[in-house]
Structure 1
Amino acid sequence: MLENLDINALINTYIIPWAINIALALAIFIVGRIISKGLVKLLGKLLAKAKMDAILINFITSITGAILLLFIIIAALDQLGVDTTSLIALLGAAGLAVGLALQNSLQNFAAGVMLIIFRPFKTGDFVEAGGTMGVVDAISIFSTIMRTGDNREVIVPNGSIYSGTIINYSARETRRIDMVFGIGYDDDIRQAKEIMATILAADERILPEPEPLIAVAELADSSVNFNVRPWVKSGDYWAVKFDLTEKIKLAFDENGISIPYPQMDLHIDKPE
């Protein structure tokens, strides 16, 4: 009789309450997971509707899902009678330690988020940033992959990019080519200007508007310097610049116009 009472007391005092708590904890976890997945999915749709970058959407939804899962686990453990206060304090201390250890990574992450939100450049743009000049191949949360002119792949930390100056050469459809050509003081300025104007007019890649500038900019020590500034489409920039440099040099040679170089006259006085 006493054994039956002890078993009943054990069941009523421990087993049934524990079973109820376990069932409630499982219910909290399962229902919480269903709700959290729905919220994460809804958040992803809202961010996509706002035309946010896919990389940032995936990151935000992943972080949100992880945070919600953490709260669900804490709530389930609390239902089981586990002291979650110390657990939360432990997680906070661990988070602080990880944050200090990954300070540079967090800086790159924050910079990556800003780059994705404000989009100073996009994949395929030719940029100069983080001490590197090249075409942007990929933008991730922590780094940006760029391809240089000699086909090297450079991985640049986003922190270096966002903390410095960003020059996007592809941001505008047109660019101005700035060139300087010098001729000798004995050469005909009008003739040189006419030669350069003819070469620019013959190149269909040079835009008529804004009108190309050809002007005497400086009377230097050894030469009369012209500023030559035509406008072209951004994609034609380098090809036109190289072609014009070669054509103008050849035209000057054919017409006897010199391109002087700095020189120094040395006079030696002999003592009497």
Structure 2
Amino acid sequence: MEEITGLLNKDNMDALVAAVSAFGLKLLAAIVVFVVGRWLVGRVTRLLEAGMKRADTDPTLISFFRNIIYFGLLTMVVIAAVSQLGVQTTSFIAVLGAAGLAIGLALQGSLANFAAGVLMIIFRPFKAGDYVEVAGVAGSVEELHLFTTKLRTPDNKIIIIPNAQVTNEPITNYSALDTRRLDLQFGVSYSDDLDHVRRVIKEVLDAEERLLEDPAPTIGLLTLGDNSVNFAVRPWVRSSDYWGVYFDLQEAMKKRFDKEGISIPFPQRDVHLHQVAS
């Protein structure tokens, strides 16, 4: 009886030693896979980051893709290391896929804003400092994030717009080009000499040093209105001088018209009273 018990104990010990040895080898293999895989992930991430920097990619986009690639590859390394321990990873991958689908459905709006932010960072319809009109709002671009765009309005208000709204509507970038055209309109009376008016307008434009000579300003009779003859005045300026010239030119034109006796009519209505005998 004692011999049988000793034999069983010996068999159990041998089995235990074999099991521990096998598990130890698996654990060692898992550790090696994780350590080597993590080193490779870091190496690949650094190479991709260096490549994006050489391609002059936006820093925000570089940071985002670096993190996404790093944690995505690291997840694959962890799954490979766990599989070395004999754990079935098929169900684990299925759970991750289901969780990712559920998160994606719950964050549809945020993902739309994110996709729009990535597209804007890649295609660059505007940059920080540009004066733009987007989603019905005009202002200077303060910051462009992956989910939102921050604008500062001329009256010093900060407006944050979801990127999906920015890309779903037309974008007007007033700062994209170095020059802009002023679209001005001046109305004069039908009794004024049109040649005289045209000459006065040209003299006022010539006196404004900030106007560009090329393209040359355009002065033309636009419409014969109900109350006035309307001239279209189209000079060109540098984008940075737009509003300064816009305000100063209208003031200078009004003062010169007054000096030259050119009237700027406004809508009037004549009322005739008829006395009816009682």
The TM tier, using the shorter chain, reads over 0.9
Deviations 1:1-51, CA, capped at 9 Å, x for gaps: 332331221121x21111111111111111110000000000111111122
2:22 is matched with which residue?
17
Q: Which of the residues 76, 97, 101 maps onto 1:92?
A: 97
Deviations 1:34-77, CA, capped at 9 Å, x for gaps: 00000000011111112211111111111111110111111111
Distance in 2, matches of 1:133 and 1:33, equals 47
Unaligned 5+ segments in structure 2 are 1-5
Q: Counterparts in 2 of 1:130-209, with a 5 A limit?
A: 130-209=135-214
Q: Counterparts in 2 of 1:1-272, with a 5 A limit?
A: 1-2=6-7, 3-12=9-18, 14-267=19-272
Distance in 1, matches of 2:27 and 2:266, equals 89
Q: CA deviation at 1:214?
A: 1.2
Q: Which residue identity lines up with residue 24 of structure 2 in the other structure?
A: A
Deviations 1:194-252, CA, capped at 9 Å, x for gaps: 22111110111000111111111100000000001100000000000000111111111
Q: Which residue identity lines up with residue 61 of structure 1 in the other structure?
A: R
Q: CA deviation at 1:131?
A: 2.0
| TM score, norm. by length of structure 1 | 0.95
Deviations 1:160-219, CA, capped at 9 Å, x for gaps: 111111111111111000011101111222222222111110111000111111111100
Unaligned 5+ segments in structure 1 are none
Distance in 1, matches of 2:48 and 2:230, equals 61
Distance in 2, matches of 1:266 and 1:115, equals 59
Please say which of residues 97-106 and 190-199 is displaced more in the overlay: 190-199
Q: CA deviation at 1:82?
A: 1.7
RMSD value, Cα: 1.5
| TM score, norm. by length of structure 2 | 0.93
Q: Which residue identity lines up with residue 76 of structure 2 in the other structure?
A: F
Q: Secondary structure at the match of 1:165?
A: coil
Distance in 2, matches of 1:68 and 1:263, equals 76
Q: Percent identity?
A: 47
Q: CA deviation at 1:156?
A: 1.4
Q: Which residue identity lines up with residue 261 of structure 1 in the other structure?
A: F
Aligned residues: 271
Please say which of residues 47-56 and 107-116 is displaced more in the overlay: 47-56
Q: Which residue identity lines up with residue 139 of structure 2 in the other structure?
A: G
Q: Secondary structure at the match of 2:211?
A: coil
Q: Which residue identity lines up with residue 75 of structure 1 in the other structure?
A: A
Distance in 1, matches of 2:156 and 2:221, equals 38
2:3 is matched with which residue?
none
Distance in 1, matches of 2:194 and 2:50, equals 65
Distance in 2, matches of 1:247 and 1:238, equals 14
Q: Secondary structure at the match of 1:160?
A: helix
Q: Secondary structure at the match of 2:214?
A: coil
